[in-house]
Chains A and B, each alone.
Chain A
Amino acid sequence: DAEITQSPRHKITETGRQVTLACHQTWNHNNMFWYRQDLGHGLRLIHYSYGVQDTNKGEVSDGYSVSRSNTEDLPLTLESAASSQTSVYFCASSESHPGQAAFNEQFFGPGTRLTVL
């Protein structure tokens, strides 16, 4: 069965360290997204990609970067982790069809809980 996985599921790191969160999907979806979930804010979009070599900034992109070298993976990198980046991170993917751009639901990974000390 197709799925979307994230690793690690839990991560504790120190302020200033570089951290990479992995996201891998076997749906063969073109669209991939990274969100962070914080109490009182719901999920907020960090970065997104509509295909290989395409990346775009979301609402809360400062301090984060992504790269898309293949269809399956969209790793999220925190260049220099800060305590404000302690959060739960969700990766998602969706199909894309011309003319039905916003129609397709996003499938979410299980989440990564990141703690920055």
Chain B
Amino acid sequence: AQKVTQAQTEISVVEKEDVTLDCVYETRDTTYYLFWYKQPPSGELVFLIRRNSFDEQNEISGRYSWNFQKSTSSFNFTITASQVVDSAVYFCALSDPLEYGNKLVFGAGTILRVKS
């Protein structure tokens, strides 16, 4: 069975602090895909990143970076110099490649509050 664990229910930081959101996953598959989505207070879900299991290179996009480590089954998300606009719920998700199309298994989400 697949499982995604986001152990941090809620994190509060002060603007300009760096913050890391943890994601640990479980899967028996050797080929799989990991995703991060952002849900701002307005409620929509915004795709942030996709990573396949064969690519362990870290990725950086502006203030966002992702650290993928297969050895620890983790796909952590770091926001550098956080801003108030980063306040949102962040979801990590895992996709099973054995089926045609894709199903996502989501973690419970981490609420990030950035205070000015």
Using CB atoms and an 8 Å cutoff, list the residues of chain A in contact with chain B: 30-31, 33, 35, 40-45, 48, 50, 58, 88, 90, 92, 94, 96, 98, 101-108, 110-111
Contacts and interface: CB of A to CB of B under 8 A. Distances in A.
Interface centre among B6, B31, B100 (most CB of A within 10 A): B100
Interface residues of B, number: 30
Interface of B is mostly: loop
A108 B45 contact: yes
Interface of B: 4, 6, 9, 31-33, 35, 37, 43-45, 47, 50, 52, 91, 95-109
A50 B33 CA distance: 18
A41 B4 CA distance: 11
Contacts of A35: 106
A58 B52 contact: no
A42 B100 CA distance: 23
A77 to B, nearest CB: 21
Given A43-B91, A111-B44, A105 B35 contact: yes
B101 A50 contact: yes
B100 A50 contact: yes
A31 B91 contact: no
Contacts of B104: 33, 43, 45, 106
Given A48-B103, A110-B43, A102 B96 contact: yes
Contacts of B52: 103
Nearest to B48: A105
B91 A105 contact: no
Contacts of A42: 4, 6, 91, 106-109
B101 A96 contact: yes
B32 A102 contact: yes
A94 B103 CA distance: 10
A108 B44 contact: yes
